[in-house]
Amino acid sequence: MSPPSEVRVRIAPSPSGFLHVGTARTSIYNWLFARHHRGKFILRIEDTDLERSDPELVEVILEGLRWLGLNWDEQPYYQSKRFEVYPSYAEKLLQQGKAYHCYCSPELLKQKREEAIREKRSVKYDRHCLRLSEEEKKRLEAEAPPKAIRIKIPPGETSFHDLVYGDLSYDNADIDDLIIMRSDGRPTYNFACVVDDYEMKISHVIRGNDHIPNTYKQLLLYEALGITPPQFAHLPLSLGIDRSKISKRDGAVAITDYRQMGFLPEAMVNFLALLGWSPGDDRELMSTSELIEAFSLERVSQSNPVFDIEKLKWMNGEYIRSRDDNELVPLAAPFLIEAGLTTKLAVEIRWEYMKKVVGLLKGRCRLLTDFAELGRYFFTDKFDYEPEGVKKHFSSPECNPWLASLAERYSSLQKFDLQAIETSLRGLAEELGISAAKLIHPTRLATTGMTKGPSLFELLEVLGREEVVERLERAVDFIRGNPTPADKTDTG
């Protein structure tokens, strides 16, 4: 299906201080759709509710979109800067008798609503102000109380073809005469949305399925205004682990939280794109350009998916592994600095060292924070030996002389390179008549404090002879029951 004219989609967040993962996902779908059709991706800030809006909060949303790599076209639009465009549309409806003034106070309406809920009646405006007599209207006009404008919903049925859900329809009798202009002259959401989508020539409205009820209202507004509505596509809502809307209970709602947790934006985009959409084959790891190429609204599913962070972590690990060491250094560095293991300057000075460290670690990382977690010993010798490891590898009586001999061998090596490190350790094991493993495990524990990690020989080479020998000797002392206080920190 190829849209007739230019594809123009929009994402319309309200400034709340953060970019919600749900909004991020909706943005991704809109963006993929726009890029697939070589159309435009518009950003519109819905800040008509002045009480709750703050220009500063907008920047956080833009930052989130930038991080994900969702570049927008044209300048962002702000509804708050467009207040002058809405009244004329409302005026037109008023003149045609398709809308009417409502003098009911918010307090009164609230009261009526609460009453309806209490009496378990359906909550709907009673059209009190539509039925006003001419005298009453005159009297009210003379008093000049604040008045809002309501759309008069005609009887009938409203239906449309949703690009995801198919044919949908709704009885107009269940739709309220909603307020389109507040008494202070500002438009309400549904009205501003219609006017803006029209003026911005939006071709497809792609948003969460929680907006389906709004779509009927907006369709009625389009009809009253006599303008052609865009096409609609509603997305299944991504749910938290408890199956309700994603909330703080699920760990994180702001996209920036995921950045802090050590996720890569590409993994985030890939994962979120697949949450409710699939290319139809078995592909899962997809680059952004593959996603753009394959994306279509027809393949969006209709049921609400659960956001499973475990799968996201797996995917993130795949992305970390596929990145080359040079790219990975700047990605991992902030987390190492955050953990106090190095500094920005040190990273630059010891770039080659960083590259090797990151290269050794990346196969085991699922999050960027794992680099700090698993690689501490590359930056400091201030670490404790894993108690389990001590029990397992430092307890045999022969272990100590073995480590001492290894330290001796290493210090007398001509060249401390991978080849020599391995040959000399294996040679020693053979001379001692033990398996190499018997020597490898204590050595790993002595030099890293850990029982697991990258290839021992490779990490020893990266650590360097001096550091390795020193750490071996310290372990020998420790085993003798006379541990050396570890206080040397290598920051660079």
Partner RNA sequence: GUCCCCAUCGUCUAGCCCGGUCUAGGACCACGCCCUUUCACGGCGUAAACAGGGGUUCGAAUCCCCUUGGGGACACCA
Q: What residues from 251 to 290 belong to the interface with RNA (CB under 7 A)?
A: 274-278, 280, 282, 284
156 binds RNA (CB under 7 A): no
Q: Report if residue 237 touches RNA, rule: CB under 7 A.
A: yes
Which residue, 60 or 337, has its beta carbon nearer to RNA? 60
Q: Whole-angstrom Cα distance, residue 237 to residue 304?
A: 5
Contacting residue, 71, 96, 105, 419, with RNA by CB under 7 A: 105
Q: Where does 96-167 have alpha helices with state H?
A: 106-118, 134-143
Question: By CB under 7 A, is residue 122 in contact with RNA?
Answer: yes
The residues pairing with 181 across neighbouring beta strands, listed in sequence order, are: 149, 187
Asked if residue 249 binds RNA (CB under 7 A), the reply is no
14: contact with RNA by CB under 7 A: yes
Which residues, including other chains, have CB under 8 Å from residue 114's CB and lie 6 or more apart? none
Do strands 166-171 and 157-162 pair parallel, antiparallel, or not at all (unpaired)? Answer: antiparallel
Which residue, among 58, 56, 69, 84, has the nearest Cα to 24 in the 3D structure? 69
How far separated are the first and last CA of the chain, in Å rounded? 58
Quick check: 111 binds RNA (CB under 7 A)? no
Let me know how long the chain is: 492
CB contact at 8 A, 385 and 486: no
Stretch of 188-196, 340-348, 394-402, 483-491 contacting RNA, by CB under 7 A = 188-196
Q: Is 318 in the site for RNA (CB under 7 A)?
A: yes
| Residue 219 found at the interface with RNA (CB under 7 A) | no
CB of 252 to RNA, least distance (A): 16
Least distance from C-beta 173 to RNA, angstroms? 8
Q: Per CB under 7 A, which region of 115-123, 252-260, 327-335, 378-386 contacts RNA?
A: 115-123
Least gap, CB of 5 to RNA (angstroms): 25
**Scanning residues 334 to 393, which ones bind RNA (CB under 7 A)?**
363-364
240 versus 334: smaller Cβ distance to RNA = 240
Q: Which of 126, 136, 210, 293 binds RNA (CB under 7 A)?
A: 210
Distances in whole angstroms, Cα of residue 212 to Cα of each of 75, 167, 219, 303, 407: 28, 12, 11, 14, 71
Stretch (H or E) spanning 43: strand 40-45
Return the residue of 288, 304, 316, 447 that touches RNA, per CB under 7 A.
Answer: 304
Q: Does 310 bind RNA (CB under 7 A)?
A: yes
The catalytic residues are 248
Under rule CB under 7 A, residue 451 binds RNA: yes
Neighbours of 269 (CB within 10 A): 23
Taking CB under 7 A as the binding criterion, the range among 26-34, 176-184, 466-474, 484-492 that sits at the site for RNA is 176-184
473 scored as a contact of RNA (CB under 7 A): no
Binder to RNA among 239, 368, 407, 472 (CB under 7 A)? 239
Q: Helix or strand or coil: residue 169?
A: strand
By the rule CB under 7 A, 168 interacts with RNA? yes
| Residue 298 to residue 443: CA distance in whole angstroms | 57
Binding status of residue 452 toward RNA by CB under 7 A: yes
Out of 22, 39, 64, 236, name the contact with RNA by CB under 7 A.
Answer: 236
Determine if 311 is a binding residue for RNA (CB under 7 A). yes
What SS3 string covers 190-250?
HHHHHHHHHHCCCCEEEEEHHHHHHHHHHHHHHHHHCCCCCEEEEECCCECCCCCECCHHH
Confirm or reject binding of residue 306 to RNA (CB under 7 A).
yes
- Interaction between residue 437 and RNA (CB under 7 A): yes
Q: In this structure, are strands 77-78 and 40-45 parallel, antiparallel, or unpaired? A: parallel
Q: Does 130 bind RNA (CB under 7 A)?
A: no
Of residues 383-412, those binding RNA (CB under 7 A): none
Helix (H, G, I), strand (E, B) or coil at 122: coil
